[in-house]
Structure 1
């Protein structure tokens, strides 16, 4: 709602820092860098079109077209306000409309409606039913709203200064002669009003019409000409791929694999961001678009702008492997996560591990996690932040996890994590848990509000310092769940040297990138680091076993490397499908192979060879319309491993072809053609009736 004044004062919140306006953006939905303002929440249609639209509405009140476009303009404007109005709750329940990601995009309908209404206003003036009084009233209405916006801004100047200060702007000025974002619209308003009245006296004059058109262009340009597109548009040099992009393209094309820019479109050119990867034909698992497939998004934790969260780094997460992602590109300074010290001086990473051990809550989770540390650090203690779940009945002092520390010489030290001393049930102080919990409350690291059926309460994370005696040069750390019930969420860990008063935070992020069995640092391109995923699967492979699971079970197995029955999940040996098929080859052929011969946008050909029946897994996204054949005979295509494709293949050598036939497109084309023919028929029918009526008259 606070953006409403930008209908008349488009740069009130800044947004054109490299122009003569000179003010970085501090309004809603700020750009991550640069201080540029987003165009979507700023629906500046110009002051002249609004004046003409008011004239059009009043002059043609009785026409249905006027009523229709007036309703569209008002309704679209209300929809742009999002959940600030009750209409949002209604539209959220309407099919199709509830898929809109940004309510501000309803400004498109509003702008179009105002354009139509302003055209009606021009027609009314040229046909001379518009009096000078009506013209003056339309100008005064716009000027009145303009004045209301100015007064509101000055009354809320403290809030504006607060918003600006939040973006590092400490010299915000609100006077027209010191702030062009206010002064220019005032000048445009006065000039537009004068020229509109001048044109009204002789609307058929070419010179006056040209002057009116000129002020319209200047009116709109006062905002749009100073947008990000002028100074921050991509340079033409980007049309040609740089040398490093061509090098990775050749490697990935040869192996039919992909790369992934971790920050998506928020990254830099050196990260081969979307959609430069498409322009340069570099195979990428990322992309920019609001219509991202939900299963792919969940599997990779992929956002619409192409970025992924930190879960890709977890050792047990196989999503990158299954998507044949061979290279990841990320900023060099993000190879290590952000950290900060607590009040005791111990430094921790700010992000949670996102790791849980033990399956006591019913979800398949690993029993242990191992971290190979990239740098040796002499530690006298290890700090662990954790919380138990579904473990209220674990008695006080019972071991729930075992810490195994290995130094550079292979010496092993073991410590126990005890319930009540080192960790506790996360909802320890919630009434329903407090009545039944059997262990004490460990030292609290942080608390956060939660809402449960019994009412609001606080959840906790707990901190423990486990001594390493005289100190160890730590090389590897393992945590293993040993509790009798429930599970433990590991939030953070830090190596502590109490004598030197130093600490080194560690996490699966650090451990995974240092794991020589999984990651290889390839090179640094400027401030971008490139790592090779040594466990990336090929584009197609054969497995001897198929397990039937639900979508959620498949997703959990991919993320945790644990099957629903507790077995380890090996994607090179087992495929997960959601249809009634269970398969296990009686005799596994160790020499079985699948070779990708051809990959195009809508076609793929794979040659398979196996002495026993196998299941072919393809690291390509399943979508309705894909069809498969084996040696020319149609066969069933399975949705596999959450979001991929799979085909049952008999023993022997075979040619598997996949082709995309967009049936929804063809159906839509048929509907469109039929609709067009019906529309043309109705036009001829209506024209015939009109001519018949005229002849009768």
Structure 2
């Protein structure tokens, strides 16, 4: 019986098996450094957010404890109910039996294998050929959304990968029963919700509902054209809506609790400005289709050129009334609408989207590349089949034609290899471009590669008869066409250059080892550092907030997109990383002042940060081997006033000051305008002076009406900026260096304005060691005497709070 079924099944499904095997081969070839090497692609959010929380949760489950709450982040965190931890999602269950890094790696990699397979299955369901389905699967699975710059977090991609599978069962219900299709569609969408990224499964849900509605009013074929009010006709919409409702019930344990948190979080209301952050301009969206390595937001609009060409062919043929399948119109509309939506604030439609209650909660419109890449991939499948049906191939299989096709395939592989080699050369420092290959050269390589691939496909269409040889060569062309450019981009991003060795991911910083000496239940820490500050350092100097959970420390910091609004406000209106201020709010160190008791009441006994409580090390601009911060200090000291500034735990021998005066026209050359008091760590105080015309000068010194009457000269100019809108004069800032009498570590610097009527603006101050080449920018001194430095090395400090209170429950 089994043998006879196999004989019946194999001839019909052999081609599908080979196509799916090709997808598996493609996946393995795409990630060899991960599957066979010692590199992990779980940097970014996957490592700093998801991995620590899931490790804690599954350790609790292994020990027989329900992971409802953990004290390790945000002064207490509800693990089970927070959707992005995704405890109910099967691809996180690897934490039960795999090392944590590998469990997270499986979670991140799963979409690159499953999304092409599910897209292939859907395209086969709607009657497309195997090669067309293979093209659609690889184009979407390795397109600009699924292979975007932030896709290695796995958060978006795991929610999106189930969409084609839901669409498959919505489509199938036109031919099969609801009892067959609804449970399967529900399971697939429930997995999308359990994966935990609301924006992704809401976008997917809108697409699913639209598809069900479209199939109900415009059946795919005439065979499905029942009466408009018949039950059978509306089954696609019924399955679409019912599957989402049932999926919400399955995921209710995390879905509704996360909604409660969202209403109390900093995301409860989003302004239109925040909503439209991450919009593509029209020009950037077009360029991103062709050169995603240079033009992207956090995703790109990229699709393999061969997929774009066949999608255009579908559009052209549809316009010529080739409308045998109404689904193609749905995907044409989806592609157009999604492209407009990803332009965000650059189109009026964005304002309309902002009025929709659920959609208005999700920022970064560029993520509509999901619908764009899926729609165009499916249109490419239609275009492939319709083009192939119009082209008459040769009637005879000739060896020379096969050899020519093989030669073209080898040429395409060769071009792709050298293109990859050039793009993967070490890049010059740049904040967003991670290749040393000039964009113009990139386009030339792409043009040459695309011409060869197109010529190969056309050659196979025309010169080869329909045969296994033709199918094999066309399949090879599709694999090469969809592989090379995504491989180039991903290698320059998180697949190669920004991936890390396992040994690096398991390193523990000296500051964490220091803090582990204190009992965690009596000593909370505050990791006041930018989330990715130490991501690529050879040896981390400190851990980012969530990583402390891996080492047993209780932290009041943590990464959580739905951080509570009142908690954010208490820590100085901070954002999801619990450190960086929300947009529109200034840096705020008031929680370290004597009048603030926030950290005291939270039992925060230690703070870890970069020097001077900075969340990150300032980018330095060097002058005379002294590093000056690129960020303005912007402190103005009025007449008779003084300001205290931080010191340096490192021994220094000089102080660099960038400053300017205002209202100082009457101050004579060489007149002292300020005193500088430098307090050493041994309490010794050294005093220096700032003099008009020598160390500093009037900011508008070069303005014509000032220049004729001012009584002091220009000092050494550090930089000049336009003094007015017409740029009629230069606004100057002045640079001076003070050589200290002794080389010591500095406790504090104080500057007093002793002029009669001039204001002194302090723009940059740096303590430096001229012999060792060390520079330490200093800032306004805000912390109270209750904070004592117990560790200071390599620009990292650990401060102890002598006023911290015992831990207690605070009930609102």
TM-score by length of 1: 0.48
TM-score by length of 2: 0.43
Q: Which of structures 1 and 2 has the larger relative contact order (alpha carbons within 8 angstroms, sep 6+)?
A: 2
Q: Which structure has the highest helix share of the two?
A: 2
Q: Which structure has the highest strand share of the two?
A: 1
